[in-house]
Structure 1
């Protein structure tokens, strides 16, 4: 990863997945903070409330507000449209839809640390 001290917003309704993502990110040595959101609505609140988020890791299938809806809202907002978003899902059929609505990249769960770090490097060039 070229950038240091990244602030990453991790969005997943599964607490185990969130903790795993946070652990992988913090061990990379490039991440300063991981903000955890349990659904898309919380994610949008964080994105609108903070201007220092460098990257979003976004689960697609969540209650309250799913990942596709988060993409639609973020990409329609002038301030958020440039924030890189990597979609994480177990459902490969969502890939096209996620990319169509503005995701920068796509990773299949279960997430492996090396794949995650490589994918982050590609979107943060």
Structure 2
């Protein structure tokens, strides 16, 4: 098992704080880094090579979740990092899955379901 360094990308500060709260006692997490949009997230990924899971919102300014996914997928050195999309819009599930994300969760998220996915990624990252 690998302890995960998570990058959470969401422009809604309340969603970020809720994610941090939900994940605060998760034994599979080493750290949580946050970004307020896809552009900031790409900048973080350019200098942080220890990120091994991304939690991604879709609706954001500057570089939205789909634009982030296209940028992300074009960089071969990032392609092994699993992405879980977390959105309020369930109609985006199909498009997200077609872009190769690990999972799609609808807000408000289930702590149990997110925990199960994090455990799966941690166990597969060793």
TM-score normalised to structure 2 length = 0.91
1:18-51: per-residue Cα shift (whole Å, max 9, x none)?
A: 0111122221122111001011111111112110
Structure 1: stretches of 5+ with no match in the other structure: none
Displaced runs of 4+ in structure 1, greater than 6 A? none
Q: Which residue of 1 aligns with 2:81?
A: 83
The answer to whether structure 1 residue 10 and structure 2 residue 1 are counterparts is: no
Partners of 1:108 and 1:15 in 2: CA distance:
17
Q: Which residue of 2 aligns with 1:109?
A: 107
Partners of 1:123 and 1:71 in 2: CA distance:
19
Partners of 1:118 and 1:58 in 2: CA distance:
17
Q: Which residue of 1 aligns with 2:91?
A: 93
User: Which protein, 1 or 2, shows the higher relative CO under an 8 Å CA cutoff with sep ≥ 6?
Assistant: 2
Matched residue SS, 1:28: coil
Contact 2:56 2:83 in 1 (8 A): yes
Contact 1:104 1:123 in 2 (8 A): no
What is the aligned length? 123
Structure 2: stretches of 5+ with no match in the other structure: none
Q: Which residue of 2 aligns with 1:24?
A: 22
Partners of 1:68 and 1:123 in 2: CA distance:
22
* Superposed CA RMSD: 1.3
TM-score normalised to structure 1 length = 0.91
Partners of 2:50 and 2:43 in 1: CA distance:
13
